[in-house]
Homo-oligomer: A and B are copies of this chain.
Amino acid sequence: MYRQVGGFDALVSAAGEAHFGPFDTMSEGELALGIQSKLLGQIRLVLLGRSLISDGGSFTLMSGYVLDDPIPEAVSFAVANGGVEGFVRAAALSLRRGVRVNAVSPGLAADSSEQFGRFNPGRRPVPMHMIASAFVRSVEGWRSGEIIRAW
């Protein structure tokens, strides 16, 4: 991907899978999906892109509210999100040339509330424009190593 793009000013990642289902029967493989995809997949974007990004550029990764307010089915997501937030906070200390890295932690997205609302009693869906604004704040803002919560 980076080879095709060449230089770039900002990378925004909203990618990465994790397993959603009961913890009781969750296998190590199911749990590791979040680690391989949502955690290591996003970290890889920074490791590979850090030498190619413009001076003063930014990386924005995606975490999620189930780290702060977990639900039983989202253990794999919580593990991945925790790893992402740890990465962002620590990696920000060492990026050079003014390059920044943040994570956006979206709440329950309005577009997902039909599918996932029933797993989140009392949780108010977050309008999509609020989540988009959080990404804008990361890309156009000044801070680094921040977790920007959109909920």
Binding site for B on A (CB under 8 A): 22-24, 26-28, 31-32, 35, 39-40, 43-44, 47, 66-67, 70-72, 74-75, 77-87, 89-91, 93-96, 145
The copy count of this chain in the complex is: 2
Q: Do most interface residues of chain A lie in helix, strand or loop, or is the interface mixed? A: helix
Known contacts: A90-B66, A94-B23. The answer to whether A39 contacts B72 by CB under 8 A is no
**A90 to B60, alpha carbons, bound, how many Å?**
24
**A35 to B47, alpha carbons, bound, how many Å?**
16
Known contacts: A39-B35, A40-B32, A43-B28. The answer to whether A90 contacts B79 by CB under 8 A is yes
Nearest CB of B to A109, in Å? 19
Residues of B within 8 A of A83 (CB): 35, 39, 79-80, 82-83, 86
